[in-house]
A = this chain, B = another copy of it.
Amino acid sequence: MSEPRFNVLGIGNAIVDVIAPVDDAFLMSHRITKASMTLIDEERAQSLYDALPPASETSGGSAANTIAGIAALGGSAAYCGKTAKDQLGETFAHDLRAAGVTYETAPLVDGPSTARCLIAVTPDAQRSMSTYLGASSLFGPDDLDADMIKDAQITYMEGYLFDRDSAKSAFVEAAEIATAAGRQTALTLSDLFCVDRHRESFLHLVRGHIDILFANEAELMSLYQTMDFDEALTQVRKDCTFAAITRSEKGSIIISQDDAMTITAAPVDAVVDTTGAGDLYAAGLLYGLANDLPLAECGRIASVAAAEIISHYGARPQQDIRLLAGFG
Contact = CB atoms under 8 A, between A and B. Distances in A.
Contacts of A68: 54
Interface stretch (A33-41, A56-64, A125-133): A56-64
A83 to B, nearest CB: 12
A209 interface: no
B54 A98 contact: yes
A94 B318 contact: no
B57 A58 contact: yes
A55 B95 contact: yes
A54 B98 CA distance: 5
B49 A94 contact: yes
A154 to B, nearest CB: 22
B316 A54 contact: yes
Interface residues of A, number: 25
B314 A56 contact: yes
Given A21-B318, A318-B21, A54 B87 contact: no
A319 to B, nearest CB: 9
A111 interface: no
Most buried by B among A49, A56, A95, A96: A56
Contact of A98 (B53, B58, B318): B53
Contacts of A318: 21
Contact of A57 (B50, B54, B56, B96): B56
A56 B55 contact: no
Contact of A88 (B53, B87, B98, B113): B87
